[in-house]
Structure 1
Amino acid sequence: MSARTILAAVLLLAAAPAGADDLFVPLPKGMDWDEVMKPDAMQFSLVAAGNRHVLVAWGQIAGGDSERFRMALDQARPIAEVWLDSPGGSLEEGLEMGRILRARKVTTRVPRGLHCISACNFAFMGGTVRYVEVGAEFGVHMFSSDAADRIRSHLVKPPETVTEYNMQFPQGQLDPDGVETYIAKYNAAHPDSPKTLSALLLDQALDEDTKAIQQGSAQTAAEIARYLTEMSLSLRFLTEFADIPNSAPRALSRQELRDFNVVNTD
């Protein structure tokens, strides 16, 4: 059965449950993107493809979804293909989903009209045979860091006391007496621009957040590089998209999909 024929069957069955097990749910009608975006965890739908099944994995990728994905694959046997339609989510879960797919030697596909963005990229890469159909979107951006969110939160509400600071940054404890001594000496030397306790604590918090971004980004880059090597993808996939913001992912062209070995068949 061709992918286009299976997709027609998927859309016809979208309004009806695909199976008796609670793990599988009906597909959004017509695979409407606004509906796909709504769930806060990945959803799984099952469609017959001859004497096998297509497992459609759609929605946000959240914590714990890789284990649910493993269960869905177990219950969906025998599998013809896994189709993906997702805006992304948890990088760690996406990487683990890809490793599960590779261990089982499953084919992955993003059918025409569907989307695979951000963390979904890495789940898709686990397929031994990988299709992105013409008219599908495979969207990429630079990986993001949770530490950036902490910087924003500290700018809005910096720690107000040394105790509060030490609770937020247990790895960089400050001595209250030492802080008071430092402020007194600083203000004596800079009477025209004295430093307050809150200003000092904000500076310290931003320093710690910056270190966390640097360390976290290096660790994430190394983890992605290892994964790309495991999946026989070009490491250029990690370096080519550094200027693409999280808020505006870019769809790869057909040529880029081939050049980076994202797809390995037409």
Structure 2
Amino acid sequence: MRQFVRHAMILIGLALLPAPAWAADMWLVSNHFSVQRFVPHIHYAGPVMEGDAEALASLFDEVVECDVARLPKEGGNCAVLTLSSPGGNYIEGLKLALLLRERAVATVVEAYSSCYSACAFAFLGGSGFSSQDGIGPYSDRMVEPRATLGFHAPYFASEDLDTLVADFGMDAVLGASRNDIALMVEQLVDWNVDASILSYIASMGPDESYDVKTGEDYYLSRSHLPPSPLGQWINDNSEAIRNACLRLLAHHRSAYIDSSPEVISETFLTDFAANEAGQMLSGFRIGPDNPLGVTFCGLPTEKSGLMGDVDLSLYTAPGVSGAARPMLSLFHRPDGWSSLGAGGAADRRHFKKGGFNEMFTQPFMAMGDQSTDTLTYLGYEKFAYYNPDFPSDSGLPRPQSDLAMSVAVSTRAADTIDYEDHRIVVQMGNQLLFDQARDVLLLRNVDTNLNSVTADGFVYGGTYPSGRPFLWFSLYAADKRLVALVEIEAKSVPADLNRAVAEQYEAACSFSFEGHTLLCQ
């Protein structure tokens, strides 16, 4: 892990922010965050304190067995970390970011949660990894609508300033502050935040923050919306195309998104020219005809419905060949790699796995005001179970066991249970959880010796590469379309594998859920 060189004042304990007396809480929420990221979900809540990166690394080692280098060419994550924090120790936030990059952990600020200051810097480390040559690590950080991600410059608490000046002198205090801000700017650039906002963040006082709220904020901070059909965010295709054209033009000019109405014509042109492949193009005029400069922004007419892949470009006017030539392109790939522009490492440019939904949103409106039923859709993709018989403020039914088990963590839809030397994670959810678990679990890097699948259930057993045995199975209440996914795993490599496997079978056979049990012999 990269080492940070800090001013001597910081090394002797002068915190950048007032240090609370407690550290963040971290826990395993469930083994599966969503359909698209079917990996362990860990939550981080509370102030960022020194030692949190080490504690989080220990938690990863305990509950996540994942070899980053063996993630697929199409990209993936080892886990998802959701964040809810007022901030805290700035240096620790940077350490957390590096840890998340190293472990290929995506970051998410969920709706109605907030992540400020040092937490926002930790958020920037959200990453995936592809074993494909030329990709490697890539940014994977998402802000849901109605969430708050806020940046501000490091500062010394006002109540401590007199003491610091008295003990170290004004020159030393000012020098430390300059060094801290220089480090912040360096790290923002390193984590691929647009340079346009660096001076803005650096100039802020202790009571100000740069909050990622609007479509432009997502663009400048390289933050992403969760995966979903484009129609969840904007229903007018021509308006969505124009919004994306504004981003292309800003990128081309290395400038903020221009809010002037006349920067791009508001009239959508159909079949304004053909590209070099002979496809007719539709889109917007940007300037007078210029065969050597930006004249149009458009895409092949057959793709203007924005269904599936989208190739949107800034085009010249037709030249001698009679074709308009692309000067800068945005590739939106819901099931592949999306990118804006070309060149550079994947983690240092506009590049992500999945679609560029945020590029098509209105740039100057808060994202939460642009979505309608999006949060319901996102909840369903995260296996939320909607049933009037189970109000949202109450827990879902749980599988029951007559064995002596201890619940370590419990949320509305998941429990983490200790049993002997095993960890049992029980997750309740909708039909998607059942379908995804049945089809995807065995794609992990595991050795399987039990594979039993029926129309309404499955049982998988085997070992991880480390030698830890596992037993995964589902109990499905078809009348309610409610599934309980039960995953039993040894906490460490057992000295007696046969005994550990027998304990897992005993635990599995003890569970019942809504009248359903495994057929055990």
Q: TM above 0.5, one fold?
A: yes
- 2:146 aligned residue: 135
Match of 1:67 among 36, 51, 54: 54
Shift of 1:122: 0.6
**Could you tell me how far apart the structure 2 residues matched to 1:85 and 1:154 are?**
30
Cα deviation digits, residues 63-120 of structure 1 (max 9, x gap):
1111111112222315431100000000000000000001112111001011110110
Instruction: Describe the SS at the equivalent of 2:43.
Output: strand
**Could you tell me how far apart the structure 2 residues matched to 1:224 and 1:40 are?**
24
The TM-score with structure 1 as length reference comes to 0.59
**Could you tell me how far apart the structure 1 residues matched to 2:213 and 2:121 are?**
17
Instruction: Describe the SS at the equivalent of 1:245.
Output: coil
**Could you tell me how far apart the structure 1 residues matched to 2:126 and 2:28 are?**
18
Q: Which runs of 5+ in 1 are unaligned?
A: 1-37, 159-167, 170-207
Q: Which structure is higher in strand share?
A: 2
Distance 1:224 1:250, change over 3 A: closer
**Could you tell me how far apart the structure 1 residues matched to 2:164 and 2:119 are?**
31
* 1:39/1:60 contact within 8 Å kept: no
Letter in 2 for 1:260: S
Shift of 1:59: 0.3
Distance 1:41 1:71, change over 3 A: same
Letter in 2 for 1:145: F
| Residue 244 (1) aligns with residue 204 (2) | yes
**Could you tell me how far apart the structure 1 residues matched to 2:183 and 2:164 are?**
28
CA RMSD of aligned residues (A): 2.5
Instruction: Describe the SS at the equivalent of 1:52.
Output: coil
Match of 1:41 among 23, 27, 31: 23
| Residue 259 (1) aligns with residue 220 (2) | yes
Letter in 2 for 1:71: S
Q: How does 1:97-176 map to 2 (within 5 A)?
A: 97-128=96-127, 129-145=140-156, 149-153=159-163, 168-169=167-168
**Corresponding pairs, count:** 178
| Residue 87 (1) aligns with residue 97 (2) | no
* 2:124/2:191 contact within 8 Å kept: yes
Shift of 1:248: 4.1
Instruction: Describe the SS at the equivalent of 1:84.
Output: strand
Cα deviation digits, residues 167-222 of structure 1 (max 9, x gap):
x34xxxxxxxxxxxxxxxxxxxxxxxxxxxxxxxxxxxxxx22x123211221122
- Structure 1 segments of 4 or more deviating over 6 A? none
Letter in 1 for 2:161: I
**Could you tell me how far apart the structure 2 residues matched to 1:123 and 1:72 are?**
16
Distance 1:236 1:91, change over 3 A: farther
Shift of 1:233: 2.1
Higher relative contact order (CA 8 A, sep 6+): 1
Shift of 1:234: 2.1
The TM-score with structure 2 as length reference comes to 0.32
* 1:118/1:140 contact within 8 Å kept: yes
* 1:39/1:59 contact within 8 Å kept: no
* 2:164/2:173 contact within 8 Å kept: no
- 1:231 aligned residue: 191
Shift of 1:127: 0.7
- The share of aligned pairs that are identical, in percent, is 25
Q: Which structure is higher in helix share?
A: 1
Letter in 1 for 2:218: L
* 1:55/1:82 contact within 8 Å kept: yes
Distance 1:126 1:237, change over 3 A: farther
Match of 2:174 among 203, 214, 218: 214
- 1:180 aligned residue: none
Instruction: Describe the SS at the equivalent of 1:46.
Output: strand
Instruction: Describe the SS at the equivalent of 2:40.
Output: strand
**Could you tell me how far apart the structure 2 residues matched to 1:212 and 1:132 are?**
38
| Residue 76 (1) aligns with residue 75 (2) | no
- 2:43 aligned residue: 56
* 2:23/2:47 contact within 8 Å kept: yes
